[in-house]
Amino acid sequence: MRRFTFFLVFLFVMSTGLASVEAQMYPNTPISWGFQKSKNHKPASAGTAYEHILAKYDAFYLGDTTKKNIYLTFDNGYENGYTPQVLDVLKKRKVPATFFVTGHYLKEEPKLIKRMVKEGHIVGNHSWHHPDLTQVDDARFKEELQKVKDEYKNITGRDEMKYLRSPRGVFSERTLALSKQEGYTNVFWSLAFVDWKVNEQKGWRYSYDNMMTQIHPGAIMLLHTVSKDNADALDQAIVDLKKQGYTFKSIDDLMNERKQLKKSPSKTK
């Protein structure tokens, strides 16, 4: 019995160690996410090099660019008083969204987290302390993600947290590999603008114009809920984008579409 127990412990240690060593085999050169913005509804482009890296780890920044779908996402590092307004608009217009939250947000705003879940939105992982994940070791990396997942379960009673957005958009092949190993899909974005500077808000029209001019089929839109401009512009933007024939879908919808594409047999000549 002792030999068997020792054998199990040995296997666990070896598998954990191998996983850590495997992660270290991936390049850890920091990459700051960026892309060529959309114009005239032409899809944004991150370039083939970035797209190749993302594809290796099942990460993505776009949906199907042949369909007029929009995937609305928000980054929530802290509350500035506008998330309730955002949630009111989403509920009124029946639009799903994904909120990527930090440990601080979970600790300070459990009622808003519960409301997000109750109203059918997805809560994603934005790390516990919002560090540059390329600069932390494997153990700290896993802790940053696990603490968010644990606190989310503590608040909602739900286990599932499957989407990750890297803080500040900084990542590496190592962070992509490690997060995939931890069961996460990395979600980047194809539409964004400077909206997070709370002391430099420019009025609702600034946010509205950026959304309308950068929009394209398959857009994954990144907004920050700390922005008054975003909160004030969101309702009109949703109304007008729907008038243009766009449909708002969830990241879960996009994942299901991607899974179906993988399952579909390739056409033979």
Instruction: Output the CA torsion sign for 19, 21, 26, 31.
Output: positive
Tell me if residue 130 is catalytic.
Answer: no
The pairing of beta strand 69-76 with beta strand 31-32: unpaired
75, 229, 232, 235: which is the annotated catalytic residue?
Answer: 75
Q: How far is CA 144 from CA 39, 51, 58, 137, 176, in A?
A: 37, 26, 21, 11, 14
Side-chain-side CA neighbours of 141 within 13 Å: the count stands at: 25
> How far is residue 113's CA from residue 121's CA, in Å, rounded to a whole number?
10
Beta strand pairing status for 163-164 and 185-186? parallel
Q: Helix, strand or coil for residue 47?
A: coil
Question: Among 121, 126, 224, 235, which one carries the catalytic annotation?
Answer: 224
- Is there a catalytic annotation at residue 104? no
User: Which residues are catalytic, by number?
Assistant: 75, 224
